[in-house]
Structure 1
Amino acid sequence: MKEFGHCPHGTIAIKAGSLANPIVFNSGSRIGNVAAEADEEFLFDCFVDTAALAELKDNNSPKMLLLGSTGAGKTALIRKIQRDADSANLIQLDEMALDYLGNSDVIQFLVSIGVSLDMFFQALWKHVILIEFIRLKFRVEDEQKSRFVFSQITRYFSSDKRKERGLAYLKNWESKFWVTMDENIREITQNLEREINLELGGEIQKFNSRAGYARSLSAEKKSQLQRVARKFVAPQLLTDLAKVIDTLAEYDAKQKVSYILIDQLDENWIDESIKYPMIRALIESLKSLRRITDLKTIVSLRSDLLEKVIMETRDSGFQSEKYEDYIIRLKWNTALLKTLVNKRVNYLFRRKYSTQNITFEDIFPEKVMNTGTPFAAILERSLMRPRDVINFVNFCLEASEGSTSVSRKYFTQAERVYSANRLNAMIEEWQGVVLGVEGLINTLKGRKPSFPISDFCTSDLLDELVNSFPNSEKRSKDKLWKLVEDATSRSVEPFDLAACLIERLHLVGAIGVKYDASLPYQYFFQTQKALPTTYLDSSTKVRVHSMLHSALGIVS
């Protein structure tokens, strides 16, 4: 065998006088990176179109909330829209002066006394999105163009008295359409701070100087402060912004649709005490913004983060079902994932002197398991999302360095690394949502691949759960911890503990649940909806997901 040439990612070799060109893997052989933001080389050339892309781009569709688990391809879709659209902007959360908002003494005081900031946060989001829309739509790049745009809009509605209030708001910002986002947010927040300080400045000083001041307030005093503060928390601003939306909705500049894109809400962009209310306010804001037909706002959100937002901000009368009309859940099937892998394999090992395509089967020719194809074995160990499949193939290529194909031996080696990687990733993904998630998953260690819930209903379960929960203030609000705490002091049915544990393990994707013999196992990644525990009984069967078997010591 003589060397034919070098690809930056893998060595391509050719047998003398042959056109077979078997591939030799090297240390750089990878079919991409698992994070879309670090996958520039493969992302666009190997992009696989899904139904979600067309619906998100369609401004007649109400779908604006892109929901999916970590690694499902949300960021890839957002970046694809940003790249392809004539008018699109990705809002960078780190440019929104949110550190100023999170560190504001006034905001912290209002949160501490239980004042809802929902209207204020909705006003902030609407203002930011509308200003970005104006900048995009009219190509505003400086103050002169900013003022010119306002004059155009004013002339268009010169005889319409109904638009006076919206125009007055725009007049106030006419020189600032081009100003950075953080300056706009800072100014709105400072306006609120001035108004609150005029009325409650003394209380805020006490809050800053005395630890636990808010907790020491009587219910009557706290209620009084809440009444005063609520007068200033943006009802007027929201009304003005509603008029601005009406004005822009009727303004005809014959422009193509502009896309405002928001991603990475799962990252640490603001203090948790206001993060979840801000995300809910953003979702609530999307509905009224739809009245502007040449604006589409698309928000990417992890499934678990939405669950957390709902849990943390639920109030009387709230119905999460009302979001369904706006949600598109990102799902993959076998055919789409196979297309994705084949595109990436071919891109990595493309052959300059041959028209032959390189496919997954070219590098996975052997049966790596006793039954099924290699690709089926990989999918069985995945949550049916691109990140898992790319990750597994990369580990296989790494284990097979110096070889021309992935053998059963190398597949097994890769699986051990992959399983440990997925376990760690699952813990990291859910630790902000499910209290003590690592300990909960560890209750599956050494068990059979599948078992009835009754196997969990033992005296040992309580001890395991007691040891699973960290010392945290959040324990007092956690449903499972309350059951554990009650069980240490009085009789609690073991099934109640087990059912609550199963609910958590299903949510994080560690297990599937089979309600009766006629149904298949159901996993969270398939429905992206929490498990209805009312259907559980002691005979309900549980299956540990195959991707965790190696890491948890589960042997078939």
Structure 2
Amino acid sequence: MQNPIVFNASSRIGRISAEADEEFLFECFVDVSALAELKEIGSPKMLLLGSTGAGKTAIIRKIEKEFARSNSIQLDEMALDYLANSDVIQFLVEIDVNLDLFFQALWKHVVLIEFIRLKFNVCDEQKSKFIFSQIFDAFKTDQRKQRGLEYLRKWESKFWISMDENIREITENLETSVSAELGSEIERFSARAGYARTLSAEKKSQLQRVARKFVAPELLTDLAKVVDTLAEHGTRVEPSFILIDSLDENWIDPSIKYPLIRALIESLKSLRRIHDLKTVVALRSDLLEKVILETKDAGFQSEKYEDYIVRLKWDSNQLKQLVNKRVNFLFRRKYNTQNITFEDIFTEKVTNSGSPFNALLDKSLYRPRDIINFVNMCLEAAEGSTTVTRKTFNQAEISYSANRLTAMVEEWQNVIVGSASLVELLKGKRATFTLSDFCTTKLLDDLVQNFPDSNNRSKDTLWQLVEEATTKTVEPFTLAGVLVEKLHLMGAIGVKISPNTPYQYFFQTQKPLPNNHLEPNTKIRIHPMIHSALGIIN
């Protein structure tokens, strides 16, 4: 090879965050099947599901770059703080009024605004009125469309204004209606902390009946008619893509975040009738689990979402292609030489078995972020050298393992109460053990010692069992089984469901363990990614 490569402090094959990875993202993009499914305008797939670091944002940005008629909805521009800070909304939440229909109406309105802007290139009030006059003329004799047309007529001069003004106006309409009937109750709620908890069941039920009639059933009906109208207003060869990302960030108060996400999913299903509109929502696997946990009601079946979900998965060939593209992009520009691959810089065997790249894969959850992070740390450890040696690989693994353990805990801490404490229970264990090894009286002592202060523990099956075990007998096997389910969900362990099947990790299926598949002799393997950080005995 000409001009031997020498690693320096700036040698890295990209950033682990797609938002900060502009230099590498599009030049080194690797196509995966999830992208093709989401681009298919007639496909029902619209929920891009994957763990943190799997590449969801990269796919969202790729779609936005590829299609001229596409736009990402910016959650921080939607005036959702106004929604969360509304005394009326908070009052309705506190008296347990189901706001799902109102939230669905908000999302439908938001998406329809963006669709009309994209489809008709609405950029100012004059263009807005011109486009709507065309729609009115096309359907003025169709009595079935009149309700939808009236809704559009009311908003025709406002479709070009900022999103936050639209949401604020819809919310203010609800506030005015509710306050007209329940103003005195809302004033008491605002003036006295905990007022809602002092209401009798009869009083609370009465307030709920009054409030429910204002929570957007008419607005949803109007919007359904708008969907009918737009669905019949011709089609365009080029579809419009509405993209939503960053739902896992702190864009809204947690008290209404999960109902809002549930309403988003429900609202988008009905918008599929508009044939040249495609919505794509990126969701972390743990966030969807939390949404289902927090908003589950009678009759809810999470499997009904399956028709709309694309699970983002990577295989070894795709990840190898990704790394080779990035290695080549980094070093070829600098050294002006032939194509450079992973093997050109990882020339030495770094473990006793398998290739260097397989060693990386074994210590990853098969996500781009893991691989990019590990390679970057190897290059950092090898600064001043021309190749990555076994010594620098092992040095990098110490930092990498600690980094990934912290990321794992942070990823799942909002879904699994006490996630950090649960992972700590694996510390110093053998790499492979059986469920019966967990079934000891010490397990209960360890869990009681780490009992969380969070009020969320009341909704968590494991901590409910721990609390029960302090006053009555709970079988250690029951505790251990629930603990294993939690650790498996986090990706900390793999479980061998039967003797003839391989170890099953959550990153492979993105589904929780099947119920009633655990036995005392069920084998469990701690993921190699966190061995170093937890001092696991191989």
CA distance in 2, matches of 1:538, 1:165: 62
**What is the aligned counterpart of 2:259 among 277, 288, 307?**
277
| Contact 1:503 1:533 survives alignment (8 Å) | no
**What is the aligned counterpart of 2:34 among 23, 41, 52?**
52
**What is the aligned counterpart of 2:54 among 44, 52, 72?**
72
| Contact 1:513 1:543 survives alignment (8 Å) | yes
* 1:7-47 Cα shifts (integer Å, max 9, x gaps): xxxxxxxxxxxx53321000000000000000000000000
CA distance in 1, matches of 2:336, 2:486: 52
| Contact 2:5 2:335 survives alignment (8 Å) | no
User: Percent identity among equivalent residues?
Assistant: 71
Task: Say if 2:215 is the partner of 1:233.
Answer: yes
Aligned runs of 1:32-431 on 2, under 5 Å?
32-252=14-234, 254=236, 256-350=238-332, 356-431=338-413
CA distance in 1, matches of 2:31, 2:235: 31
- Which has the higher mean CA deviation after the structures are superposed, 73-82 or 514-523? 514-523
Q: Which runs of 5 or more structure 1 residues have no equivalent in the other structure?
A: 1-18
CA distance in 1, matches of 2:345, 2:335: 19
Distance 1:377 1:172, change over 3 A: same
Instruction: Tell me how far 1:353 sits from its aligned partner.
Output: 7.5
CA distance in 1, matches of 2:273, 2:333: 51
- Which has the higher mean CA deviation after the structures are superposed, 385-394 or 477-486? 477-486
2:523 aligned residue: 541
CA distance in 1, matches of 2:335, 2:293: 57
CA distance in 2, matches of 1:257, 1:485: 54
Task: Say if 2:11 is the partner of 1:26.
Answer: no
- Could you tell me the TM-score, scaled by structure 2's length? 0.99
- Which has the higher mean CA deviation after the structures are superposed, 347-356 or 158-167? 347-356
1:13 aligned residue: none
- Which has the higher mean CA deviation after the structures are superposed, 337-346 or 205-214? 205-214
| Contact 1:25 1:404 survives alignment (8 Å) | yes
Instruction: Tell me how far 1:286 sits from its aligned partner.
Output: 1.3
Distance 1:124 1:218, change over 3 A: same
What SS does structure 2 have at the residue aligned with 1:67?
strand
| Contact 1:137 1:255 survives alignment (8 Å) | no
Task: Supply the AA of the counterpart residue of 1:461.
Answer: L
CA distance in 2, matches of 1:275, 1:481: 24
Task: Supply the AA of the counterpart residue of 1:502.
Answer: V
CA distance in 1, matches of 2:201, 2:154: 40
Task: Supply the AA of the counterpart residue of 1:120.
Answer: F
2:496 aligned residue: 514
1:524 aligned residue: 506
* 1:160-193 Cα shifts (integer Å, max 9, x gaps): 1111100000000000111110000000000000
Q: Which runs of 5 or more structure 2 residues have no equivalent in the other structure?
A: none
- Which has the higher mean CA deviation after the structures are superposed, 334-343 or 467-476? 467-476
What SS does structure 2 have at the residue aligned with 1:297?
strand
What SS does structure 1 have at the residue aligned with 2:48?
strand
What SS does structure 2 have at the residue aligned with 1:331?
coil
Task: Say if 2:475 is the partner of 1:499.
Answer: no
* 1:28-79 Cα shifts (integer Å, max 9, x gaps): 0000000000000000000001111111111111100000000000000000
* 1:105-128 Cα shifts (integer Å, max 9, x gaps): 011111111111000000000000
CA distance in 1, matches of 2:124, 2:154: 16
Instruction: Tell me how far 1:497 sits from its aligned partner.
Output: 0.6
| Contact 1:67 1:300 survives alignment (8 Å) | yes
| Contact 2:286 2:415 survives alignment (8 Å) | yes
| Contact 1:435 1:469 survives alignment (8 Å) | no
Instruction: Tell me how far 1:354 sits from its aligned partner.
Output: 5.6
Instruction: Tell me how far 1:460 sits from its aligned partner.
Output: 1.0
Instruction: Tell me how far 1:141 sits from its aligned partner.
Output: 0.9
Computed over aligned residues only, the root mean square deviation of the Cα atoms, in angstroms, reads 1.0
Instruction: Tell me how far 1:355 sits from its aligned partner.
Output: 5.8
What SS does structure 1 have at the residue aligned with 2:470?
helix
CA distance in 2, matches of 1:101, 1:84: 33
Task: Supply the AA of the counterpart residue of 2:120.
Answer: F
Instruction: Tell me how far 1:469 sits from its aligned partner.
Output: 2.8
Distance 1:352 1:274, change over 3 A: closer
Task: Supply the AA of the counterpart residue of 2:50.
Answer: G
CA distance in 2, matches of 1:476, 1:393: 41
CA distance in 2, matches of 1:300, 1:493: 40
Task: Supply the AA of the counterpart residue of 2:498.
Answer: D
| Contact 2:285 2:510 survives alignment (8 Å) | yes
* 1:232-280 Cα shifts (integer Å, max 9, x gaps): 0000000000000000000016351000000000001001111000000
